[in-house]
Amino acid sequence: MPIQVLPPQLANQIAAGEVVERPASVVKELVENSLDAGATRIDIEIDKGGAKLIRIRDNGCGINKAELAMALARHATSKITTLDDLEAIMTMGFRGEALASISSVSRLTLTSRTADQAEAWQAYAEGRDMDVTIKPAAHPVGTTLEVLDLFYNTPARRKFMRTEKTEFTHIDEVIRRIALARFDVAFSLTHNGKLIRQYRGVSDSKQRERRLGAICGTAFLSHALAIEWQHGDLALQGWVADPAGARAVTDLQYCYVNGRMMRDRLINHAIRQAYQDKLGDHQPAYVLYLTIDPHQVDVNVHPAKHEVRFHQSRLVHDFIYQGVISVLQEAGAESLPGMAAEEPGERWQPENRQAAGGNHFSAPAQAGSAGERESGGRESQSSYSGSRESQSGYGSRESGSRENRGGHGGGAAASWQHQTPGYQKKEGALYRQLLQTPDLPAAQKEEKPQASDRSVHEEHGPVLSGHSESFGRVLTVLHNEFALLEAGERLALISLPVAERWLKQAQLTPGEEALKPQPLLIPVRIKMAKPEREATSRYAALLKQMGVELEAEGQHVTLRAVPLPLRQQNLQILIPELLGYLAQQPEVSVTQAAQWLARHTVTERPHWNHSQAIALLAEVERLCPQLIKAPPSGLLQYIDTELAMNALKHE
């Protein structure tokens, strides 16, 4: 068979095999063209699941008469002109194949009018050579495309179409995805003459919240955690569901790159890695918008533009991972090293005896004394809490909506105020119970434990053993660093900076397993002297157990990961000092290394407030119960109240 040029209709049908998979593919291509035209309202009408009719009407800029015939030609587009344009694409379409391919497998009619034209014009292609016929028509400013009898001239393709219900379900999903990408555009979807979906264009955060709930459901909305994360030209915005919400919501994964909906393996892997073991066999649920310099992403790798290729894929992967894991940590989804993460839906409450009435701890705390309000509504301020700002330069961004280049991808700017979910650990409930019940002498507590305490120990084992006793109730903070405690009939002062140092040491001391390393978004490369480089290899096992991943490269050492408690530190200063300390010691144990790190990582606070003191002591009691029975020097000092009372009695 000789080599020959394919007829235009056959060439377009071959292209249609790549672009037009089913009616939903046609809807996607045409709606994206409307968005590129600047439309703020798009109406989609479907008949028979798209097999009979697909009509897309918009109020965009329209196509003038002179270019109407060319719009149906293959490889004709107004979105790129040079190779440089192809390397920085911000529009939804750019190949110029959609209209020509669709018209080759259907009866397509294009009607359009621009603002400077007095009348509209209509075009359609027919014949073997697909000649375009143009005639006048009545139409407002904008464009309408009618696709009749899809695959009428390709019976094999039509045979593989699914049922009407299945095909419309795919169309509905496409509109849902696009509506999430463009909150500023109004959409309406009609099937067989019945209005199915209607999304109004919104601008403020409350309206975006309503649209998100309408598209993704109230279950996702109630568990959604807002993300605002940026570094340079990279920005990540949107929402992820907490682990409990991800279990309740199935198959809800929407991801966008510069406003373009994607199914990218790299992005999915980064998000899945952030959740790690929190979900088991379940999949994370999220609606995320990634904004990146268009020169750093190649969108021309898939015929239907479902996939992209990042020039710095590792950077993008780590950036998304850090953004997602940080918001999960802030919401309390990340537990301390050695502690299992707990589902918010499985919150434990101590059971009261029948004679004691209902359990008032299971209800929200009522307004009472200052101590009750502080203990009931405190938020953990300890240093292990997840941070949205790391030393590698990636930080949270609390600004409002961003203006996207080219007017596309407005949905990437959607966000609302981060709503902190109710977060109550089993230990916190018991801690409040101990603070708010009358104190018993220590001997009586040891000899006659209460039934509720026994049930706690039997059910939850050693996890709560540190709460059988406590330092006492925090009355106030003196001189910005000492907490005044009431323990039974005694008063005591506790040094909050020293308590924080012991807490940090407990967090940095590995248990049966090594501390989990947290990969850095950008590895830190530090030039080291020979003794420090030798210490890196000599103490490699110790550093690995501490969760510090170092790699020697000539005269430099590259830091790739650190444990969670060190994420907020200035690693370019801390790590060389740590290696210098190790180089000077003939032998260092894990405890000594944790103690050194604790002394060099505790940040000096100008002053402590009441709630911070309560939160700190609660964590110290949980992780360092031995400090209650045998407090080290410099931590706790009891006050001799009898001397003061005797002085008053003699007056």
- Of 454, 506, 490, 546, the C-alpha closest to 626 is 506
Write phi, then psi, for 2 (nearest 5 degrees): -70, 155
- The confidence score (pLDDT) of residue 337 equals 37
| Higher local confidence (pLDDT), 435 or 87 | 87
Q: Write out pLDDT tens, residues 385-422.
A: 333 333 333 333 333 333 333 333 333 333 333 333 33
- The confidence score (pLDDT) of residue 381 equals 34
Q: Judge contact between 270 and 320, C-beta under 8 A.
A: yes
pLDDT, mean of residues 508-523: 83
pLDDT at 58 over 70: yes
- The confidence score (pLDDT) of residue 93 equals 67
| Confidence band, pLDDT 50/70/90 cuts, at residue 128 | low
Q: Write out pLDDT tens, residues 248-293.
A: 787 789 999 988 888 888 888 888 888 876 777 788 899 999 999 8
pLDDT at 199 over 90: yes
pLDDT at 345 over 70: no
pLDDT, mean of residues 32-40: 92
- The confidence score (pLDDT) of residue 209 equals 87
To which residue do tokens 């440089």 refer?
84
Residue 162: C-alpha distances to residues 54, 103, 174, 407, 571 (Å): 16, 21, 16, 36, 57
- The confidence score (pLDDT) of residue 651 equals 56
| Confidence band, pLDDT 50/70/90 cuts, at residue 114 | very high
What SS3 class is residue 191?
Answer: strand
- The confidence score (pLDDT) of residue 110 equals 93
| Confidence band, pLDDT 50/70/90 cuts, at residue 15 | low
- The confidence score (pLDDT) of residue 62 equals 93
pLDDT at 8 over 80: no
pLDDT at 612 over 60: yes
| Confidence band, pLDDT 50/70/90 cuts, at residue 501 | confident
| Higher local confidence (pLDDT), 616 or 353 | 616
Cα distance between residue 85 and residue 82, in whole Å: 5
| Higher local confidence (pLDDT), 466 or 325 | 325
Cα distance between residue 253 and residue 261, in whole Å: 11
Sheet hosting strand 490-495, strand order edge to edge? 473-478, 482-487, 490-495, 636-639
pLDDT at 515 over 80: yes
| Higher local confidence (pLDDT), 345 or 97 | 97
- To the nearest whole number, what is the mean pLDDT of the chain? 75
The stretches of 489-570 forming alpha helices (DSSP H) are 496-508, 530-538, 540-545
- Provide the CA 539 distance to its chain's centre, in angstroms: 36
Cα distance between residue 612 and residue 497, in whole Å: 12
Residue 378: C-alpha distances to residues 423, 602, 611, 612 (Å): 10, 21, 6, 8
Residue 275: C-alpha distances to residues 459, 561, 562, 602 (Å): 27, 17, 18, 28
- The confidence score (pLDDT) of residue 425 equals 34
Sign of CA dihedral 58, 63, 69, 75: negative
- The confidence score (pLDDT) of residue 100 equals 83
To which residue do tokens 């009355």 refer?
475
pLDDT, mean of residues 43-55: 94
Percent of the chain whose pLDDT exceeds 70 = 75
